[in-house]
Structure 1
Amino acid sequence: MGPSRYFLLLASSATLAGCIPASTAPAPRPAAPQSANQPVASDYERQSVGVVGGDAQPTWTLKPVATNARQVTATSYTVRPGDTLRSIGEMSGAGSEAIAMENDLAAPYTLRAGQQLRIPAGLYHRVAAGETGIGIARAYGVDWGEVITVNALSEPYILRVGQRLRLPGHAVPQPPATVDLASRAKAFRLDIDDIATGSQPALGPKGAAAVASAAPRKPVTTAIATPAAFTGRFVWPLTGKIIGKFGPLAPGKVNDGINIAAPKGTPIHATANGVVAYAGDQIAVYGGLILIDHGSGWVSAYGHAGQIDVRRGQAVKAGDVIGLSGASGQVQTPQLHFQLRKNRTPVDPLKQLPAR
């Protein structure tokens, strides 16, 4: 699943033409005027966040990935007193998650002496401090979504230092130059699901995810704790005419959200309480993009922003202004592309928002 799912019909009405992605991304637009009620960002925030960009360097590029993957052959292991799933994974070179899946083990993964375990064959990467899922996937030329599936990873998708990730069978370590390019040019091929699930830096053995702050003073480059649970209900991010509906548009073309027409500079509001998981413009099709993690598997996305006024790791409340609408990314008219996702699956926002 990628940005192509968001492409809209070219042979639509003039109204829909405003949200048709262009063949190439337009140049960044000047800052939109602020409304009288819009909080003014500090000079520091403007230098860091900019018009449609979040922190200058996204978290998934902060730590270069050393391609240390080890090929493990299928074997069996007899559990000894004191063994844990992690210690067996460390000894065998296989991931504890992969071993659990291979042997149909469920949390809390209690083992007994003498138990026979199958060690699954595969290529396993050992996660280093600060590495992210996106960075690891790019380093081996695979899709992060495949890595999630192969390892049965789940929310909050925070890797741990020393964790051994099983890689898809076609994974191949990429030359260093290619890995560097993936931090920049290839980043434009990422989609919302990639960023929502694979941009958190790995935690150390005794590390704890950072607690969200109302107004982080500097970029947060560590893992961020996800909200314990979704609270409240969703509110409209802004008021405007729906110019693009959720769902199939044409063979092979799907809109994962809705598009709402809005004059340039219209305040964009957080749809519910949560933590900003991403704020930047590294996905060309969406331009200025904000992702908010609401807990319980819910994530909201706000695309085509002309100005971003929040940063990663910031706690927000329903109705808080998080930016201003614009026409950034591959669109021709000012609008907001709005998505709601539950457990990685896009859902129709109109079925979750209050009727109007």
Structure 2
Amino acid sequence: MRQLWTQAAVIALTAGTLAACETTGAQYPTRPNTGVSPPVVQAPPVAQAPAPTPPPPEDDAPPVTAPVGAGSVSSQPLAPVATAPYASPPPAESRPLPAPAPQQPTMRAVVVTTTAGKVVDVTGAPETYVVKSGEGLDAVGRKMGLSRAELAKLNDLEEPYRLKPGQKLKGQSTKAKAYVVESGDTLSSIARRFSVTPAALADENDLSSGASIRAGQKVRLPQGFKDKGPAKTTVMQPVAGGSTLAGASPPPSNWTPPASAATRPAPSRPVVAERDPEPTPASTTTTTVTIAGKVIEVAGKPKIHTVKSGDAIDSIARDLGTTRKDLVDDNDLKAPYVIRPGQKLKGPATTDKAYVAESGDTLAGVAKRFNVSVSALSKENNLRAGASLKKGQKVVLPDGYKDKGPIRTTVTTSAPRPAAPTTTAQTPAPAPSSTAGLPSSPRPYTPSGNTPPPSSYPRPSAPVSAQPVTPPPASSRPIIESSAAPTEAEITAAGRGRFVWPLRGETISDFGPKGTGQRNDGVDIRAPVGTPVKAAASGEVVYAGNQVPGFGNLVLVKHADGWVTAYAHLNTTDVKMRQQVGQGEQLGAVGQTGGANEPKLHFEVRYAPTPKDKAKPIDPALVLPR
């Protein structure tokens, strides 16, 4: 534009003094927006040196005219030239420096091995024998393979070695296997390696289920254990001092790649702006008390005496602590009271202690409170090991129990974070070649509506003012999406050694599509009504009820590291919400509730690889022992 005005001024000075005249020529008509700029008037060449360049005229200055021939002269203003305004670049020292691009860390797969301690031979618990009525030290010694003197020494007995019915005698120590604890091991992880329950492991070592263990400690393994070997888990870890290299592991799913200043495209869609880390929310601690029933005295079983050769009624009565008349009456004996060797005579009734069950109590929970095994408790009460208890039921406690009081479980939960307003900011769209995890499969941005392609936009004939960029509507696809679904191999590695079968039976429907638009998100296992259903792994009961249509009585257990298991169609449920359960602890019994067409258990395993993911069903066969 400045050059144009200079040429016009030179022409005016060369022509001399011109007479002012009225403008009669027509101006160039305004052209439509066709993308073609109007012509520019070229001045004839001038031989003389150009005059100094005058300053550009103001907007209200009169137009400069040029000669058109000899004689009368008419003037015509030049049409405005359609050129974009030129903005001089700012000085280099004032230009903002581009922010350094964050480097994507190099990731590598690392196999972490846990529960890798040794298994060694140790001295096991000694054999025990419960003395029966009429038995002497010699008879017990023969049964235990010990001499009279050895048995007396092991049990600190003194002459004349009188034994009482029900007295427990120790025999020789047995041989057992023990696991040598390494740093970071827990009772639960050891139990997973050796295919036993934490409760059985704790009972074998006279420990509480939540007891801490230290490196080097030897933990005896209960009978029937099966060593599956150390647990191996593959995790991704950043390489110290590494940088992003070709073939390196993909970046985290919430990482946004920077765009260089030269290739940065125009803003196209909003992304969620980063916020400062929020303060850790306050936590809530809740203590739950279970197995809090009373202990009462009940009538026990009568003493039994097996008649031996030479026994008489009077001597038997003395041994049983009763009278001749009571012994005769209790056994309906007739005079002259002839008795035969091997005959069993009942003595007076004994007294026992019993626990009065409350709602939600289980045999495993009662056994834990009184420091006895589940098998001993069930045997004392003629119950199955997985039998359910009713409120008010009296559970007789076996000899040698130790009441540790009601079980208290403390759970600490974080308060939910307050919903924060979403702040959006315009950020460049990533280049199509970007490997960022912004969506998992990069797609080019397509303008919405009937917007013409870039090649069909007309070129403007006048300066165009900057127009605001309208972001796409909120309903467009999100910028931050869930992480990629894990592969079956990754699921198997993450779940190895965590779970056991909730029950054993015939699988009548496995995981996956079932035709006609249906699918099974778990497995269905056929079993008789009342068959115990046990927890596949330790965790917290997050639901126990029958409010989910089609599932009947349902129990959901949340486990560590994003795992959840579901147990449906139960006949009864033996647990409550917020209750902590151990692996192998009974949750309920098989039933035919909800939409079940026969007695069965519907069992599901769900997994969320990261906290931001939703737990999705996976094939239980990937993580259950074969």
TM range (shorter): 0.3 to 0.5
More helix by share: 1
Larger RCO (alpha carbons 8 Å, 6+ apart)? 1
Q: TM-score, normalised by structure 1?
A: 0.40
| Bigger Cα Rg | 2
